[in-house]
Structure 1
Amino acid sequence: MTEESRIADVLRQRIRSGELPRNSRLPTQHALAEEFGVNRTTIRQALTVLEREGYLTARGRGAPAVVTSPAAEAPRPADVELAERIALAFRSEHVAIDAFSLTTETLNAALARPLLAISAGDLAPRSIAVRVIVPRPEGTLAFPRLVADPGDPRPLERLRRISATFCGSLRHQLLSLAERGLVPEVSVQIRTVDVTPLLKLYLLNGTEALTGYYQVVARPVGFGAEELEMYDVLGLSSMVFRSSADKDRRDEQEAAFVAESQRWFESLWSTIARPVTLG
């Protein structure tokens, strides 16, 4: 990677995270050159890249660049995008995560980095509140199910085991932060609903929503010593779309989508969702 590409990546991430909000001015080229240890020509090349992508306005002679609305970016797999966004969410003093998904597998994986950072003393949030809604595996779900025999109970039994494992691990890892004195307040609540989730939704700190569709595929899945051909979903690799209600939002419609997604989650949470007891 060239120096200008590396610098453009750093500045792009600062804009996407809101560290450099819309309409703010970048530091001067001289200040950026000192920060990154390069000459001003390299800085100008990096800024030109960001101008072409729509992150910065054209610069006047000697004037610092101004941040514009971030360019729309292609969606990324859930495990990649969620991990990055949750890592940024954990920089807040009070962390709040609401999730609706088939299991908590993707969420568990995304939490690994910030939990390690808290253990190392690099992050120190004052509170963490996590609420999760997953389907009730004992209910009737459209998937997973065998391709040849929709009534076979083994796919749902497998889902029950997976869900219990990941939900239990999620609860244990987060509550242990409070038990070890690393985070003063930690709350983990898990509820179930009698629906088959056709999409996944993650709401972070009330300011952004990540949504993705579950694509149903036929694939062989191990169950004990057997291999079963079933209709299932690949949650980790499903693409997610990010919407923001914060200062990096592209428009008011995007902010309205985040607010409506939060209201939708609250409507499930406060009505038909039922607490689950983990052993």
Structure 2
Amino acid sequence: MSQESTPSGTPHPPAAHRRHTPDHIAEVLRQRVHSGELPRNSRLPTQRALVEEFGVNRTVIRQALAELERKGYLVSRGRGAPATVTAPALNDAPRPAGVEVADRIGLAFQAEHVSIDAFSLTTETLSSALAAPLIAIAAGELAPRSITVRVLLPSPDARLAFPRLLTDPDDPRPLARLKELTRTFSVSLRHQLLSLAERQLVPEVRVEIRAVAITPLQKLYVLNGTEVLTGYYRVVPRVVEYEQQQMEIFDVLGLSSKIFRSSSDKDSRDEQETAFVEESRLWFEALWSTIAQPVTLG
């Protein structure tokens, strides 16, 4: 059998020299996603083409594709249409939090048991990212058996480094505005999640919010214990409105901060990345179980 070439011209090994298991085929396709050979939003080859390439029957191909879909690499279009790649290549440039966090949380919700640990200035990005999977659950498109969300926020009464007025660091209004925003987003997030259990859409839902007396300089999300999303808060001057007055403050723009993704699952690039995920998880757990205090939202 002659070699087949990738779109970039790199020949694929002949099928005769491969192990013809669903796991191996899934791994080959996963590597093509990671390398960028199969970029996000591209169509996979047809099942018939994959049968010919790998020299296996259609059942084996379907099992491999089902594994990739379960892991969030593909989404099936049904009726025999080629699946679409949903995961980015590992060498993709980092994307804004408002985009990347939403995408990755959407994929995390395909798991049977969903867990999210979040550390941030407010819950604005997280609340926005949860919108799509919550709609999918209500529509019956997703059906997790449990959802556990733990959120760490700065203490509402702490004297934070930001936000603050450019001209008067002691003016209490920027922190008062932040406190109101944080409470609004947090109450909404908790209500949306707990309503899934109240409507009997998800059997078990747990939401807990705690606070620590520190200024977050970065945001961190640990998804299902195997993936970490992190990004830095960049302090910028900007004008905001509070109590019908405009204020020029030092603030951060969380939704536009670039997010870096690390995994300890099968798509981990090396041992260092796996270790980073574990250390991030332990860092969050240490704060959560020691100096963090429960927040009462009313």
| Cross-structure match for 1:134 | 153
Q: CA deviation at 1:32?
A: 5.4
Aligned to 1:9: none
Q: Label 1:21 to 1:138 Cα distance change in 2 as closer, same or farther (>3 A).
A: farther
Q: Which of 152, 156, 170 is the aligned partner of 1:151?
A: 170
Query: Does the C-alpha gap of structure 1 residues 30 and 109 become closer, same or farther in structure 2, counting only changes over 3 Å?
Result: closer
Q: Which one of the candidate residues 249, 253, 266 is aligned to 2:268?
A: 249
SS in 2 for 1:236: helix
Query: Is structure 2 residue 143 aligned with structure 1 residue 124?
Result: yes
Counterpart selection for 1:31 from 37, 47, 50: 47
Q: 2:92 aligns with which of 73, 78, 84?
A: 73
Q: 1:30 to 1:241 in 2, by over 3 A?
A: closer
Cα deviation for residue 252 of structure 1 reads 1.1
CA apart distance, 1:22: 3.6
* Structure 2 residue ranges without an equivalent (≥5): 1-5, 8-22, 33-43, 52-87
- 2:137 and 2:235 map into 1 onto residues whose CA distance is 36
Structure 2 counterpart of 1:179, one-letter code: E
Aligned residue number for residue 232 of structure 1 = 251
Deviation at residue 34 of structure 1 after TM alignment: 8.8
Look up the match of 1:99: 118
Root mean square deviation of aligned Cα: 2.4
**Which one has more relative contact order, counting CA pairs under 8 Å at least 6 apart?**
1
Q: Which residue in the other structure is 2:76 paired with?
A: none
Amino acid at match of 1:129: T
1:11 maps to what in 2? Answer: none
Query: How many Å separate the matches in 1 of 2:133 and 2:237?
Result: 34
- Note if contact 1:216-1:233 (Cα within 8 Å) is conserved in structure 2: yes
Number of the residue aligned with 2:181: 162
Q: Which residue of 2 aligns with 1:194?
A: 213
**Paired residue secondary structure (2:254):** coil
| Counterpart AA for 1:31 | Q
In the aligned structure 1, how far is the partner of 2:254 from the partner of 2:198?
31
Distance 2:212 2:281 in 1: 17
Cα separation, 2, equivalents of 1:142 and 1:160? 14
Runs of 4+ in 1 over 6 A off after TM superposition: none
Report deviation, 1:71: 4.0
Select which of 213, 232, 256 maps to 1:213. 232
What 5-or-longer segments of structure 1 have no aligned partner?
A: 6-17, 36-68
Match of 1:177 among 188, 196, 212: 196
Q: Is the 8 A contact 1:144 1:230 kept in 2?
A: yes
- 1:184-212 CA distances to partner (integer Å, 9 max, x unpaired)? 00000000000000000000000100000
Q: What is the rounded CA distance, in whole Å, between the counterparts of 2:227 and 2:259 in structure 1?
A: 12
What do the CA deviations read for 1:130-183 (whole angstroms, capped 9, x no partner)? Answer: 000000121110000000000000000000100000000010000000000000
